Amino acid sequence: MHIKSAEFVMSNSDVAKCPKNKLPEYAFIGRSNVGKSSLINMLMQRKSLAKTSGRPGKTQLINHFLINKNWYLVDLPGYGYARVSKKAKKTFQKFITNYFEKRKQLVSAFVLVDCRHEPQPIDLEFMQYLGEGQIPFSIIFTKGDKLKPNALTRNIEAYKTKLLEQWEEIPNYFITSSTNAMGRDELLGYIGEINQSVNAVL
């Protein structure tokens, strides 16, 4: 997919105020400081489309970006600073769960995970929440350039082993780097394929 245009549309915390049209949406979410803003800027080839910060938790609202005039990239707040509990709705900000449960335009979520770390309970819990809600999602392993190839493969395999403790099969996943654009073509190609199938149905 060639990115011809990427423009900021709106920020808010009320799902009812999100764009009214039926364009497909792809929501990006992850723990605070996972590299989400950098990944979005890399995908769109814009230096500051999404605001990056050394301070985790910079994104506090639902941010809509209109891409190529025909789909939305949705930048959601990180969930790392919410208090962890057994009930997902207490773990994640209420308006995030409202978005996932009420937003009919959502086609797929992308859960960002730092490939350098072992599986984090809050990431696994969020994926479980999406799975139980039958919300389609893929995993994006970020910062793939920070590890040597063998270490990267080892970490991904360890993550897959952990996931298979709860999942019958591994969710779709991508390995990316905002530094060298690793995974960009694969990820945008995947979104492009889904858009084609969505447009065929509409």
3-state SS of 29-48 is EECCCCCHHHHHHHHHCCCC
Which tens digits make up the pLDDT trace of 58-70? 457 899 999 999 9
Q: Strand, coil or helix: what is 146?
A: helix
Counting beta carbons within 10 angstroms of the beta carbon of residue 88, is it exposed (0 to 12), middle (13 to 18) or buried (19 or more)? middle
What's the pLDDT band for 84 if we cut at 50, 70, 90? Answer: very low
Please say if the pLDDT value at position 179 is more than 90.
Answer: yes
pTM: 0.89
Average pLDDT for residues 80-86, to the nearest whole number?
Answer: 50
Domain residue ranges of the chain, discontinuous segments joined by +: 6-201
Pairing of strands 62-67, 71-75: antiparallel
Which CATH entry fits the domain spanning 6-201: 3.40.50.80, 3.30.750.24, 3.40.640.10, 3.40.50.300? 3.40.50.300
Which tens digits make up the pLDDT trace of 119-172? 999 899 999 999 999 999 999 999 999 999 999 999 999 999 999 999 999 999
